[in-house]
Amino acid sequence: MSKINFTIGGLFAGVGGIELGFKKSGFDIAWANEIDKHSCITYRNNFSHQLIEGDIQKIKGKDLRPVDVLCGGFPCQAFSVAGYQKGFDDERGSMFFEIMRLVNELKKKPKVLFLENVKNFKSHDKGRTFQTVFNTIESNGYSVFFDVLNTCDYTSIPQNRERTFIICFKDEAGWEFSGKTNSMSYKFSKLFPPKRTTHNKPISDFLETKEVPESFFYRQDKYMYNELRKTMKSKDTLYQWRRQYVRENKNNKCPTLTANMGTGGHNVPLVVTDDGFRKLTPRECFSFQGFPRSYKLPTNMANSHLYKQAGNAVSVPLISKLATAIKKTISE
């Protein structure tokens, strides 16, 4: 029997975290789409398949190659507790409907939809936002699975990163009442959520092994130095600068990495080293998202863009674990 190569298409691809996770699980990437020009540069540094740079609203489904799995980590700022939570009233929140438009415009509907968003997505607007999404997907012929998963609970990465995952299988709505134990949905229900991990790697495994430039350190001339010195005592955990104070992560985990962590004043991840107090480098932030050291970061790009890309990314090993479950489901 010949090997089946399942394909994925990626929307709101960012720097390719979802795509990389599926690739590690044996999927072929047919194409991806991203609007941010800086993210596209990083993406192209690491992938050779078609990347459609531009606004999803200008893409026509009939022009895209049909895929087995359509992925989309659609913009989360409209639903995040860190944003204004305007939901569908924010143009970024309405991007979900662009995904569904393409689902119906493709020459063949995908077998699976794989969507990712912030933890707060399910509770936004007292659950009405999620119910709208759920009903829309189901009315288009998909059965829906969802859960909030934390990176440190399901991978060896010590990052607290809770995200909502919505995974949908075509043409099997109402499967739970049908008694079809051979259905894709029934099979997937045995694999999701995945098995929890038993341990996380130490923080030190994700830090630079080479000398870190002086620009990442906070010395006595920095206004927050005294606060850092007072609070930051342990080399076994990470800290976070929160505008006016330092938050210690006492569970020896990396705090949730955010898109604004590189702007200098808020959510800045900090570490104590033999050389002093410093913020994480962009490479370290990518490592805490599970990107391999071989992932190529542009050398001529401002760190602020790289921090944003890492903060907007997904945890690659968790994506890979979910992709493996999907592959097992649609292969049988």
What does the pLDDT look like over 241-282, one tens digit per residue? Answer: 988 889 998 888 999 999 988 776 678 899 999 999 999 999
Is 96 inside a domain boundary? Answer: yes
Same domain, 140 and 261: no
Same domain, 47 and 170: yes
**CATH code for the domain of 129:** 3.40.50.150
pLDDT (tens digit, 9 = 90+) per residue, 95-130? 899 999 999 999 999 999 999 998 988 888 888 888
**The pTM of the whole model exceeds 0.85:** yes
Residue type, 280: L
Same domain, 180 and 217: no
What SS3 class is residue 114? strand
Helix H or strand E encompassing 136: helix 128-139
Is 305 inside a domain boundary? Answer: no
Q: How far apart are CA 329 and CA 182, in angstroms?
A: 10
- Size (the chain), residues: 332
Same domain, 187 and 248: no
Is 301 inside a domain boundary? Answer: no
The pLDDT-based confidence of 186 (bands split at 50, 70, 90) is confident
Is 288 inside a domain boundary? Answer: no
- Lowest-confidence pick of 53-62, 143-152, 187-196: 187-196
Q: How far apart are CA 257 and CA 310, in angstroms?
A: 7
Same domain, 156 and 243: no
Helix H or strand E encompassing 57: none
Query: What are the DSSP calls for 194-257, one per residue?
Result: PPPPS----GGGGS-SSPPPGGGEE-TTSTTHHHHHHH---SSS-EEEESSSEEE-TTS-BPPP
Same domain, 254 and 124: no
Catalytic residues: 76
Same domain, 137 and 272: no
Per the structure, the count of domains in the chain is: 2
Q: How far apart are CA 72 and CA 70, in angstroms?
A: 7
What is the tally of helices (H) and strands (E) in the chain?
A: 10, 12
Sign of CA dihedral 70, 313, 79, 319: positive
